[in-house]
Amino acid sequence: MANILVIDDDSMSRDLIAEMLAEKGHKTVKACDGKEGLQLYDTTRFDIVITDMIMPDVEGVETIIQLKKNYPDVKIIAISGGGRISAYSHLSLAEKFGVQKTLAKPFRTNDLLTAVDELLEI
């Protein structure tokens, strides 16, 4: 049972991910963008952060950079429905900035739960 922060600007995605995690008994806190997510992490050390990449205001990459900078041990799963920054996809870029797992939407519930379990074992 883990405490997981879900950052996604799409409410349906947020709710769905929360529901998927709830299946396994994980607790989730939802944030609608990177700014909110960072604020929340400052107050609570979540076990895992799941963050979407394409978001308004503070983007996924920026969120990851800030988290990694302030909390080097943070465990992050980056998710994305597409998009590209120069030669890299968002997810490959996220990997470059140190996220441990990436999932491309649409992913299955099992894919998500497996990624979470693997991260918790580390």
For the CB of residue 102, give the shortest distance to another protein in the complex, in Å: 7
Residue 15 exposed, middle or buried by CB count within 10 Å (0-12, 13-18, 19+):
middle
Q: Collapsing DSSP states into helix, strand and coil, what is residue 70? A: helix
Which residue's structure tokens are 């797992």? 101
Cβ proximity to another protein: between 15 and 62 the closer is 15
CB atoms within 10 A of CB 97: 16
Binding residues for another protein, per CB under 8 A?
10, 12-13, 16-17, 19-20, 23, 54, 80-84, 87, 89, 91-92, 95, 102, 104-110
Q: In the beta sheet, which residues pair with residue 104?
A: 80
> Minimum Å distance from CB 58 to another protein?
18
Least distance between another protein and beta carbon 84 (Å): 6
Phi, psi of 58 (to 5 degrees): -85, 110
CB-based contact 88:60 (threshold 8 Å) = no
| Residue with smaller CB distance to another protein, 23 or 57 | 23
Taking the complex as a whole, the smallest distance from the CB of residue 70 to another protein amounts, in Å, to 26
- Whose Cβ is closer to another protein: residue 51's or residue 80's? 80
- Cβ nearer to another protein, comparing 45 with 82: 82
